[in-house]
Amino acid sequence: MKALVCSRVTEDFSGLEVQDIPVPQPGRGEVLVHVKAAGVNFPDMLMSQGKYQFKPELPFTLGMECAGIVEAVGEGVTDWVIGDEVIGGNKTGAYAEYAVLPAAGLSRKPTPFSFAEAAAFPAAYLTAYVALVRRANLQPGETLLVHGASGGVGTAAVDVGKLLGATVIATSASDAKLDKVLQYGADYAINSSQGFRDKVKTLTHGRGADVIFDPVGGDVFDESVRCIAFDGRLLVVGFTSGRIPEVKVNMPLIKGFSVVGVRAGEYGRQFPERGRENQAAIRQWAEDGKIHPHVFREIPLQDWREAWRLLTDREVVGKVIIRP
């Protein structure tokens, strides 16, 4: 089968290559999935550079999430049969024609979704759910400021924020992207390259945002501290800017806000019952047609560098999908 394999950890991705490798076989409690679509995530890129917290043993096949059809089941698997349409993931393995995945981690592909939409769904919407529901306890009528709102996780946060009844302010460094995010449901849009503190203050009548969803870090985090409401929750989701910011603790003291870390997968591992509830909640939203993953582009596996370029050049609105 064809797979995108990382043989060497390198800064310029020269250690990545589409290779012909044997089709893996499912072991006990595992399922072999014929991959139809795989979601592209920043951690995939960071992993191949050795910059992600999880560092798999070389060589490894990239890809954290996918949608496809069950091809074979391992010993002890009773919940899935050949032909089932599923979504699932692992830390690696999805950028391939076939992937072995833990049976317990699979779920049925939501009926309204295409395979591409299903592959764009799990990581982004789970992150948004854990961030906004579990960690921030976002309430109807509150103001949610979403940074990086044009990315896969950002568009999911906008979608979930509106579903929860918040007023959503979206930021991005591109006016063209912001036009699309407004079409996607945000109430207001701000070009963050020109600063956003004063505009957020104006839109919130001086109060500031109740919840700030920040996958960007760096200067965006620094400015967020200056426009968060008293009793606000500043969600640390990631650092796509490349700089991990710092905050002097007198600021949360004086302004009465919380800095809250978000690791959606780890949350489910630490609290398994809540993790199952999280998955069930976003799946029900999907089945009910209440959420709408945005697929920006579908790219063949052999053109994976184009997918990487789209992410690094910040051209994406929604999620890029790889088709093995």
Residue 40 pLDDT = 92
Q: How far is CA 207 from CA 58, 203, 219, 234, 258, in A?
A: 50, 9, 21, 15, 16
> What whole-number distance in Å separates Cα of residue 318 and Cα of residue 308?
14
Give residue 177's pLDDT.
87
CB 223 within 8 A of CB 200: no
**pLDDT of res. 249:** 92
Could you tell me which residues come within 8 angstroms of residue 284 by beta carbon, excluding any fewer than 6 positions away? none
**H or E stretch covering 45:** helix 42-48
Place of tokens 């692992």: 90
What is each CA distance from 236 to 107, 147, 224, 316, in whole angstroms?
Answer: 28, 11, 11, 21
Q: What angle do CA 29, 30, 34 make, to 5 degrees?
A: 155
pLDDT in tens, the chain (324 residues): 999 999 999 999 999 999 999 999 999 999 999 999 999 988 888 899 998 888 999 999 999 999 999 999 999 999 999 999 999 988 899 999 999 999 988 999 999 999 999 999 988 999 999 999 999 999 999 999 999 998 889 999 999 999 999 999 999 988 888 888 998 899 999 999 889 999 999 999 999 999 999 999 999 999 999 999 999 999 999 888 889 999 999 999 999 999 999 999 899 989 999 998 999 999 999 999 999 999 999 999 999 999 999 888 878 888 999 999
Give the angle subtended at the CA of 164 by the CAs of 159 and 165, to the nearest 5°.
Answer: 100
Q: Domains for the chain: give ranges and CATH numbers.
A: 2-121+293-323 (3.90.180.10), 124-263 (3.40.50.720)
Token pair 């968060």 is at which residue? Answer: 228
